[in-house]
């Protein structure tokens, strides 16, 4: 049989509703599946933004979703947070090109900045919708 996959503990500031996508990104990364890791991280960002904006079922582009997410952030705190839209766009590039090497080069920085966004959300006491 297969050996069980090691459980990956996530920081407390990662939203629980979408945490499975973040965890899958980390598992894919540790398994050497860089493109899958980037895909799961981008899905994590998108699904969180959809939930925060109420766009769960609407057919919207990534740009529309990420713009709507930026609008729900408090205006006085937006400039303090790493832009999820910027990272969503950057993560899209290796996905659309199916470029494993680009995914490998991007993932660590993207993951760190996405984590930082959520860490600051918690520190700035920005409530989830």
Q: What angle do CA 65, 86, 17 make, to 5 degrees?
A: 50
- pLDDT value of residue 8: 86
Residues whose CB falls within 8 Å of the CB of residue 43, separated by 6 or more in sequence, listed in order? 21
Share of the chain above pLDDT 70, in %: 95
The mean pLDDT of 65-86, rounded to a whole number, is 96
pLDDT of 108 reads 97
Measured CA to CA, the distance from residue 108 to residue 32 in angstroms comes to 13
- 71 pLDDT band, cuts 50/70/90, is very high
Nearest partner of 45 among 66, 29, 31, judged by Cα: 66
Coil, helix or strand for 17?
Answer: coil
- In angstroms, how far apart are the furthest CA atoms of the chain? 54
Who has greater pLDDT, 71 or 129? 71
pLDDT of res. 127: 92
Q: How confident is the model at residue 88 (pLDDT cuts 50, 70, 90)?
A: very high
Q: How far apart (Å, rounded) are the C-alpha atoms in residues 109 and 82?
A: 12
Q: Quote the CA–CA distance of 114 and 10 in Å, as a whole number.
A: 13
Question: Within its chain, how far is the Cα of 103 from the centroid?
Answer: 14
CA distance 101 to 116: 24
87: nearest Cα among 32, 43, 36: 43
Range 25-50 average pLDDT: 97
Could you read off the pLDDT of 92-111 as tens digits, one per residue?
999 999 999 999 999 999 99
């Amino acid at each position: 049989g297969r050996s069980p996959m090691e459980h990956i503990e996530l920081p407390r500031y990662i939203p629980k509703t979408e945490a499975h996508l973040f965890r899958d990104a980390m598992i894919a990364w540790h398994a050497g599946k860089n493109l899958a890791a980037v895909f799961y991280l981008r899905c994590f960002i998108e699904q969180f933004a959809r939930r925060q904006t109420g766009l769960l079922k609407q057919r919207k582009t990534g740009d529309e979703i990420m713009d709507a997410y930026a609008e729900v952030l408090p205006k006085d705190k937006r400039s303090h947070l790493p832009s999820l839209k910027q990272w969503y766009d950057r993560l899209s590039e290796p996905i659309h090109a199916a470029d494993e090497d680009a995914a490998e080069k991007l993932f660590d920085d993207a993951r760190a900045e996405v984590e930082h966004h959520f860490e600051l959300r918690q520190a700035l006491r920005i409530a989830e919708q």
